[in-house]
Amino acid sequence: MLNFCMPVKVISGEDSVKKNAVLLKEFGKKALLVTGAESAKRCGAFQDVTEALESQGISWVLFDGICENPLLSACREAGMKASEAGAEFIFGIGGGSPMDAAKAVSVFAANPGISEEDFYDKKWNCKPLPIVLAGTTAGTGSEVTDVSVLTDSKAKKHSIHDPLLYAKLSFGDPRYTASMPLRVTLSTGIDVLAHSAESYFSKKANEISRAASIGSISLLYAPLMKAAKGDDLTISDREKLYEASILGGLAISVTGTCFPHNMGYYLTENFRVPHGMACAVFLPDLFTWVREAVPDCAGEFYERLGIPEDALLSLIAAALPAIPVRLTDEEISAILPRWENNNSVKNTVGEVSTEKIREILLKHFLM
């Protein structure tokens, strides 16, 4: 059975923003640009986007206050700015953080002043503004998902998803990713592996999402291994990583993620481990789990992929630095309720018990 929706127009490749500037016309005469502090300018995307907007007679204002693991409060502030400036659409430029933020900003711009609770409960009186994105990392696939992951006022990461949060148009010029430091290339690349593997092992996987997962990992395996070994990436390697990230985003837009992502949020919130690396800590546990609990599904995955489990484990080991988190038995017991009745845990094939999660936490972190 298929259950699949992909309403985003995606254009990737060299100079994709410049070459398609005319497509921006339909979104209005004024845009709010949403970026992080520096990288959008450093990688060339900001210049391409502003030139493209200006070439179509579209004016813009900038909000560049989005940090990693974007704060809901910053999105509210940016929404206010968009509303005061009379922006008709939101253009997010950056990695997953500014792109996810742009989705929330589009809600706040149309509904200035709504509370955090009403935002998460989707009590939006007015339709979010149209969203356009330009990705600068090869990672989250936020370009093609209706998901926005934000940090709330209690410093907890929550994802919200709604079909109104799909971008109308997403660009991806792989040249933008060339300025990523190695640490960011590895963390975002391993996030792609996590999306694609978790999606494959989701209870909601179907033939579309599985094809996207397999295609994604096949594309990323060689260039990511190259990066993990410290070799320089060519533009063709970067294109493969970028396209793999879009396929991974497509896969999770059908299925959502499984327990590694949700467990990774804990490491990011409490120990500031970058998102992709935080999730990848638990990927070997997912592989072990499916091999033991649902061997047919695991066997089919490796057969279709043509890459054995050992090779994927070697890739993770090469890309992932040591994560020096140590917890006591009592601390592990105290955080365990987070994963009771948790959607990402329940989404994983087989029935992952809270006791299994405890076993995984003890294995990684017990002092």
Q: Is 185 near ligand NAP (CB under 6 A)?
A: no
Q: Is 96 near ligand NAP (CB under 6 A)?
A: yes
Choose, by CB under 6 A, the member of 16, 39, 111, 213 that binds ligand NAP.
39
Q: Is 68 near ligand NAP (CB under 6 A)?
A: yes
* Residues 78-107 close enough to bind Zn ion by CB under 5 A: none
**Is the four-CA dihedral 166, 168, 174, 175 of positive or negative sign?**
negative
For 160, the enclosing helix (H) or strand (E) is strand 157-161
3-state secondary structure 184-224: HHHHHHHHHHHHHHHHHCECCCCHHHHHHHHHHHHHHHHHH
Q: Is 140 near ligand NAP (CB under 6 A)?
A: yes
Q: Is 177 near ligand NAP (CB under 6 A)?
A: yes
Residue with tokens 């890459």: 307
Q: Which CB sits closer to ligand NAP, 39 or 111?
A: 39
- The span from the CA of 160 to the CA of 149, in Å, is 6
Q: Is 143 near ligand NAP (CB under 6 A)?
A: no
Q: Which CB sits closer to ligand NAP, 8 or 312?
A: 8
Q: Which CB sits closer to Zn ion, 114 or 205?
A: 205
**Which residues are CB-contacts of 218 (< 8 A; sequence separation ≥ 6)?**
305, 306, 307
Residues contacting Zn ion: total by CB under 5 A: 1
* Residues 249-278 close enough to bind ligand NAP by CB under 6 A: 249, 275-276
Q: Is 94 near ligand NAP (CB under 6 A)?
A: yes
**Is the four-CA dihedral 17, 22, 25, 27 of positive or negative sign?**
negative
Q: Is 142 near ligand NAP (CB under 6 A)?
A: yes
Q: Which CB sits closer to Zn ion, 277 or 357?
A: 277
- The span from the CA of 177 to the CA of 43, in Å, is 7
Q: Which CB sits closer to ligand NAP, 83 or 170?
A: 170
Q: Would residue 252 be called left, alpha or beta, if left means φ above 0 and alpha means ψ between -120 and 50 degrees?
A: alpha
Considering the complex, what minimum distance in angstroms separates the CB of residue 333 from ligand NAP?
26
Upper half-sphere CA count for residue 214 (Cβ side, 13 Å): 16
Considering the complex, what minimum distance in angstroms separates the CB of residue 264 from Zn ion?
7
- The span from the CA of 112 to the CA of 95, in Å, is 25
Q: Quick check: 89 and 28 in contact, CB under 8 A?
A: yes
Residues that bind ligand NAP (CB under 6 A): 36-40, 42-43, 68-69, 94-97, 100, 136-137, 139-142, 145, 147-149, 176-177, 179-180, 184, 188, 191, 249, 275-276
Residues of this chain that interact with Zn ion (CB under 5 A) are 191
